[in-house]
Amino acid sequence: MTSASPLVGLPADTYENHGFLFHSLGDKYVRAVAEVSKCTPLMIPAMIDAVHLDQLLDPFDGILMTGAVSNVHPPHYGEEPTADHEPYDHARDAMTLKLIRAVIDRGIPLFCICRGFQELNVVLGGSLEAELQKGEGRLDHRAPKSDDTDVRYAPTHAVKITKGGMLERIIGKSETMVNSIHRQGVKKLAPGLNAEAVAPDGIIEAVSVKGARAFAFGTQWHPEYKAAKNPDSVKLFTAFGDAVRAHNRDRASTTFNKQRYA
- Name the residue type at position 152: R
Instruction: Give Cα separations from 122 to 45, 72, 179, 188 (angstroms).
Output: 21, 8, 22, 9
Residue 139 lies in a domain: yes
**What is the band of 2 on the pLDDT scale with cuts at 50, 70, 90?**
very low
For the cut 60, the answer to whether the pLDDT of residue 1 exceeds it is no
Tens-place pLDDT, residues 82-122? 999 999 999 999 999 999 999 999 999 999 999 999 999 99
pTM assigned to the model? 0.93
Residue 189 lies in a domain: yes
Specify the range with the lowest mean pLDDT, choosing from 73-82, 101-110, 130-139.
Answer: 130-139
Distance CA 139, CA 147 (A): 22
Residue 246 lies in a domain: yes
User: Which entry of 182, 205, 224, 247 is annotated as an active-site residue?
Assistant: 224
Q: What is the CA radius of gyration of the chain?
A: 18
Residue 196 lies in a domain: yes
Residue 1 lies in a domain: no
Active site residue 114: yes
Active site residue 224: yes
Of 208, 223, 249, residue with least CA distance to 31: 223
Task: Please state the domain count of the chain.
Answer: 1
Residue 142 lies in a domain: yes
Active site residue 18: no
Tens-place pLDDT, residues 23-52? 999 999 999 999 999 999 999 999 998 889
Residue 237 lies in a domain: yes
Tens-place pLDDT, residues 143-155? 999 999 999 999 9
User: Which entry of 114, 141, 182, 247 is annotated as an active-site residue?
Assistant: 114
Tens-place pLDDT, residues 160-214? 999 999 999 999 999 999 999 999 999 999 999 999 999 999 999 999 999 999 9
- Provide the CATH number for the domain around residue 154: 3.40.50.880
93 alpha carbon, distance to own chain's centre: 14
Residue 2 lies in a domain: no
Residue range of the domain that includes 100:
7-260
Tens-place pLDDT, residues 55-72? 999 999 999 999 999 999
81 backbone φψ class: left, alpha, beta (φ>0; ψ -120 to 50): beta
Of 204, 128, 138, residue with least CA distance to 165: 204
